[in-house]
Amino acid sequence: MVKKSFLRYNIRKIWKKERDGEIMSNLYWRFGFGYPALIFWFLIVLGVFYTNGFIFFVFLVLLIMQTGFLIKRYKDWKSIIWKQIHNRAMFVFSGIAGEESGRARAENREYSMYNACEKLILLMTNTPFATTEITDTLVDLEDVAGLYFVELLYNHLDEFQELYPQVDDKAIEAAADVFRKITFGPQLVIAKVIENTYGAKESLRYGMALILGEAK
């Protein structure tokens, strides 16, 4: 069982680290679409400006379609809380994981997922150093791993069924079985912070996105 905590999401420190050049900027976690989609849009715009006749109309149709695609991706991204947090956090975690790997090699020890997750939760909550609350939360998550989601599921079945009214008892059990297989890692930290900030319902939505492969 994971103890109740009050660690809330705060992206300001991550934004500051990006502005200071400590982490690379990433378009996707700001707008929901990546550089390839944006570059393609610019290429189409050039096609509209530098062609004429039938080719011009082809590029014009492509421009309308691609612009609609970018707008839809942005609206979808903006409307889903877990996606905004997950995308940002996992992008930052990739840098943290690299730092921890280098430190582990230098100190002749194994990679520590705990150390990496501690750094992530400090950044996500804009906390300057590891407090007792952070330590307790991480130790609990490391101990229970995927059972965190199982407990969340059964403690908030009504909210889960509001999200997925079509599921029956068999489907709920199947989801619980998949949750049990989740190992300790950044996704659990993200889920816990989402729960503290936006509630169990949003954390369950995130958990389902994980097992359905929607959160990558």
> Residue 125's pLDDT band (boundaries 50, 70, 90)?
confident
Structure tokens at 10: 């705060």
Q: Is the model's pLDDT at 49 over the cut of 70?
A: yes
Percent of the chain with pLDDT over 70: 87
Predicted confidence at residue 20, as pLDDT, reads 46
Residues in the chain: 216
- DSSP count for the chain of H helices, then E strands: 12, 0
Question: 119 and 14 in contact (C-beta within 8 Å)?
Answer: no
Q: For the ranges 23-32, 55-64, 104-113, which has the lowest average pLDDT?
A: 23-32
109/141 Cα distance (integer angstroms): 22
Phi then psi for residue 145, to 5 deg, are 50, -125
DSSP 171-211: HHHHHHHHHHTPPSSHHHHHHHHHHHHH-HHHHHHHHHHHH
pLDDT, tens digit, 9 for 90 and up, residues 201-210: 999 999 999 9
What's the whole-number average pLDDT of the chain? 87
Q: Is the model's pLDDT at 12 over the cut of 60?
A: no
Predicted confidence at residue 31, as pLDDT, reads 76
CA distances 46 to 36, 119, 214, Å, are 15, 43, 33
Mean pLDDT of 1-26: 55
Q: Is the model's pLDDT at 138 over the cut of 80?
A: yes
116/93 Cα distance (integer angstroms): 8
pTM, to two decimals: 0.74
Predicted confidence at residue 199, as pLDDT, reads 92
